[in-house]
């Protein structure tokens, strides 16, 4: 045991901070290059070949064993040090690197990649445990981490961590579980003026579905979100529509409540509409289930302590503060996981914009990237050297999983 874990520093803790901080400072030119390169070469989900090539080559140069294309995702990777694996704990840093169409790195995933890469490289010579870097593609679309979870890529890890750039420096909060549904109605076409009685109106079925879903809202948990859009609503006003299609982005605070209550209720609305109009209904999930985020309290505390040590004000968000949905949620149900935020400007531009993409390579953003990298690396170093702390992390994980389903009936 080499560190103090109370976050106040102390002799041994300061030594570790100094050592890790020095390594991140030495890596600064390389990490800046990574952040800039990804920003200049934005690639959308599942197309991130340049990002994969660049990140894997840096890791290979540093002696990591790299496997490309894990879990059937061509642009993913898994890097490990020491090659072949060392002992416990196994600490993973997650690199996202997908961009948004037209906008580029408006979510700042170029910085996530640089921070995680830097943390792993900074800890390479700690001489204990196993370091893993996971390249997790397509966060903005299908959620690459979900397939990686299902393929067992996260099994056996003791911590999975990444830092997301944003408009505030914070830990805590959570995300909504999400399971997007597509609904189709099949009716019968007819002349809408001359012989409407010969038709079966698939648009009526769809409109009734929207009305019924709207009527559901007050019956459900207030955190539930049920936005929907019509993708096919008929072809001509003088033809009874024989085919319509809609998509709903169904979300809830808790995945079980979403699956057991919200999804069946919405499908009942569609079934009722099908029966009322005589249409045939088909439905499917068009994206996988994103689970709600269960941030690990111990990992969050460790990271927050380090950011405060670096002079940052860190907000602690209550679990009820939920953003959108993220595939890190699925990871957090498998292993202890944390995804704090770091502010990259003052004031930072809104996310998912071109302005944000530009801001990711500004001087303040690159400084915040290096600080977040230092805080993440020190958090990892503490775990590597303190088996008791790893145990605490796991206790907090079990506790967090027990507290699940508060909204489940």
Is 107 or 342 the residue whose CB approaches Zn ion more closely?
107
**Could you say which of 24, 51, 70, 107 contacts Zn ion (CB under 5 A)?**
107
DSSP 72-126: G-TT-EEEEESTT--SS-EEEEEE---BBTTTBSTT-HHHHHHHHHHHHHHHGGG
SS3 229: strand
Which of these ranges, 99-107, 199-207, 232-240, 369-377, lies near Zn ion under the rule CB under 5 A? 99-107
**Torsion over CA of 320, 321, 323 and 326, rounded to 10 degrees?**
-50
Q: What are the Cα distances from residue 147, in Å, to 152, 155, 256? A: 9, 13, 19
Shortest CA distance to 306 belongs to which of 172, 171, 399?
171
Minimum Å gap between C-beta 151 and Zn ion is 22
Cβ-contact 91, 345 below 8 angstroms = no
Sign for the pseudo-dihedral over CA of 161, 137, 25, 36 = negative
Q: Which stretch binds Zn ion (CB under 5 A): 72-80, 105-113, 193-201, 257-265?
A: 105-113
Residue 257 belongs to what H/E stretch? helix 255-257
Distance in Å, CB of 59 to Zn ion, minimum: 22
Smallest distance, Zn ion to C-beta of residue 100, A? 7
C-beta of 107 vs 250, nearer to Zn ion? 107
Question: Which lies closer to Zn ion via its Cβ, residue 107 or residue 113?
Answer: 107
With CB atoms as reference, the residue minimizing the distance to Zn ion is 107
Cα(361)–Cα(280) distance, integer angstroms: 52
Question: Which residues fall within 8 angstroms of residue 190, CB to CB, at 6 or more apart?
Answer: 196, 197, 198, 199, 239, 240
Q: Which stretch binds Zn ion (CB under 5 A): 107-115, 126-134, 366-374, 380-388?
A: 107-115
Give min distance, CB of 65 to Zn ion, in A. 28
Closest distance of CB 328 from Zn ion, Å: 9
Cβ nearer to Zn ion, comparing 27 with 163: 163
Q: Please identify, using beta-carbon distances, which residue of 141 and 407 lies nearer to Zn ion.
A: 141
Nearer to Zn ion, 315 or 353 (CB): 353
CB of 104 to Zn ion, least distance (A): 12
Nearer residue to Zn ion within complex by CB, 76 or 130: 76
> Can you tell me the distance from the alpha carbon of 78 to that of 157, in angstroms, rounded to the nearest whole number?
13
Positions 161 through 220 that interact with Zn ion (CB under 5 A)? none
Is residue 99 a contact residue for Zn ion (CB under 5 A)?
Answer: no
Shortest reach from residue 98's CB to Zn ion, in Å: 9
CB of 353 to Zn ion, least distance (A): 11
Pairing between β-strand 77-81 and β-strand 130-135 as defined by DSSP bridges = antiparallel
As a whole number of angstroms, the distance between CA 354 and CA 381 comes to 35
Closest to Zn ion by CB, 35 or 107 = 107
**Region binding Zn ion by CB under 5 A among candidate stretches 106-114, 182-190, 371-379, 385-393:** 106-114
Interface with Zn ion (CB under 5 A), residue total 1
342 binds Zn ion (CB under 5 A): no
User: Site residues (CB under 5 A) for Zn ion?
Assistant: 107
């Amino acid at each position: 045991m080499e560190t103090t874990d109370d976050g106040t520093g102390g002799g041994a803790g300061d030594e570790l901070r100094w050592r890790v901080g020095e390594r991140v400072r030495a890596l600064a030119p390389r990490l800046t290059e990574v952040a800039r390169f990804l920003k200049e070469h934005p690639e959308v989900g599942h197309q991130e070949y340049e990002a994969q090539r660049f990140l894997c080559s840096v890791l290979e140069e540093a002696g990591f064993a790299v496997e490309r294309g894990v879990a059937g995702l061509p642009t993913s990777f898994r890097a490990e040090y020491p090659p072949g694996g060392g002992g416990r704990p196994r600490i993973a840093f997650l690199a996202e690197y997908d961009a948004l169409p037209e906008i580029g790195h408006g979510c700042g995933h170029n910085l996530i990649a640089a921070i995680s890469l830097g943390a792993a490289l900074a800890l390479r010579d700690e001489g204990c445990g196993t370091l893993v870097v996971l390249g997790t593609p397509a966060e903005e679309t299908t959620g690459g981490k979900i397939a990686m979870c299902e393929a067992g890529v996260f099994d056996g890890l003791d911590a999975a961590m990444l830092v997301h750039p944003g408009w505030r420096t914070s830990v805590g909060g959570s995300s909504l579980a999400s399971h997007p549904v597509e609904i189709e109605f099949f009716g019968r076409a007819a002349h809408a003026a001359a012989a409407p009685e010969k038709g079966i109106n698939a648009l009526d079925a769809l409109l009734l579905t929207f009305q019924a879903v709207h009527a559901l809202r007050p019956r459900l948990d207030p955190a539930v979100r049920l936005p929907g859009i019509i993708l096919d609503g008929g072809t001509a006003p003088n033809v009874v529509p024989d085919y319509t299609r809609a998509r709903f982005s169904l979300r809830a605070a808790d995945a079980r409540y979403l699956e057991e209550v919200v999804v069946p209720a919405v499908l009942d609305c569609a079934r009722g509409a099908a029966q009322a109009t005589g249409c045939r209904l088909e439905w499917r999930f068009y994206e996988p289930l994103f689970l709600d985020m269960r941030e690990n309290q111990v990992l969050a505390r460790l990271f927050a302590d380090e950011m405060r040590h670096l002079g940052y004000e860190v907000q602690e968000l209550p679990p009820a503060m939920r953003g959108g949905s993220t595939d890190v949620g699925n990871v957090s149900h498998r292993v202890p996981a944390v995804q704090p935020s770091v502010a990259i400007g003052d004031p930072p531009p809104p996310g998912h914009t071109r302005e944000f993409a530009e801001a990711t390579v500004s001087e303040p953003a690159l400084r915040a990237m290096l600080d977040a990298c230092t805080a993440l690396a020190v958090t990892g170093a503490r775990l590597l050297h303190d088996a008791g702390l790893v145990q605490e992390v796991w206790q907090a994980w079990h506790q967090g999983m027990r507290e699940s389903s508060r909204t489940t009936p």
